[in-house]
Amino acid sequence: MVSILFLAWMVFFDKHDVLTQFKLQSSQERLRADKAYYQEKIEEAKADKKDIERDKEKFAREHYYMHKDDEDIFIFVEE
């Protein structure tokens, strides 16, 4: 009887019960996924920074469609 009460206490009523552990595990997995996503975005930002430092004019033309007054711009979209 004492063992059953102890087990019930540990599973349902304790501060570190099964439901809490499950929530913490799912939260941890979500945070790991978020971390991987943001690390990927950081790498993309670093690559963009290198492109800007190397050739500012090319970066501005490709990403922001900037042009000189006497130029026409044609945008080709690949699908």
Domain count, the chain: 1
Q: pTM of the entire structure? A: 0.58
Report if residue 77 sits inside a domain: no
Cα distances from 24 to residues 9, 27, 28, 39, 74, in angstroms, run: 19, 5, 6, 22, 52
- Token couple for 48: 């963009």
Domain membership of residue 42 as a residue range: 2-64
In the chain, the DSSP E strands lie at: none
Report if residue 10 sits inside a domain: yes
Is 38's pLDDT higher than 90? Answer: yes
Report if residue 32 sits inside a domain: yes
Rg of the chain, C-alpha, whole Å: 27
Per-residue pLDDT tens digits for 43-78: 999 998 998 889 888 888 887 878 888 888 777 888
Cα distances from 20 to residues 12, 13, 40, 55, in angstroms, run: 9, 10, 30, 52
